[in-house]
Amino acid sequence: MNAKAIIEYGNKSFLKALDGVSLEIVEKAGACGVWSIKDILAHITKYEELFIEVFQGQLDEGMTVPTLVRMGNDHGKFNELGIDEGKQKTFDELKELYLSRFEKAVELVTKITPFQLRKVGTIPWYGKEYALDDLIVYLNYGHKREHGAQIALFKEIYR
């Protein structure tokens, strides 16, 4: 598996969904439940922070992953925290933050060996039978594709 390519493809897909979004609708509720497009962006941005910590944790064994701890303790609260952090920024500022976190995640994942990426059991908090490359496919790529599709649909409604 080419982890970098998968992460980059998920990013490309997500950015394509955000492309051309009207600033008049970015804060309208309903893109994903009660979430707006801006809320989705904040949510995905928070997950980029999580991936930075997870990747860094793989490189620095024993490193604590505070974002992961917050998520594991209360997933709903973790999502709320991301949304709340996003409300403090403009859409453009939030997009810049997302992109900077994405770039950092890519930088880190390229330092992880292919063996480490596919080694089962390295992320027991996700599931003992999973490897980091599973997490990348499901929680990074799949997550961005899912929310990107919601954004694209929402944009069509308000076109």
pTM across the whole model: 0.93
Measured CA to CA, the distance from residue 149 to residue 88 in angstroms comes to 25
Domains with residue ranges and CATH for the chain: 3-157 (1.20.120.450)
Measured CA to CA, the distance from residue 114 to residue 36 in angstroms comes to 37
Question: Which residues contact residue 11 at a Cβ distance below 8 angstroms, ignoring those fewer than 6 apart?
Answer: 102, 144
- The per-residue pLDDT for range 118-135, each reduced to its tens digit, is 999 888 878 889 999 999
3-class SS string, 90-118: CHHHHHHHHHHHHHHHHHHHCCCCHHHHH
In this prediction, the residues of the chain whose per-residue pLDDT falls under 70 are 62-64, 68-73
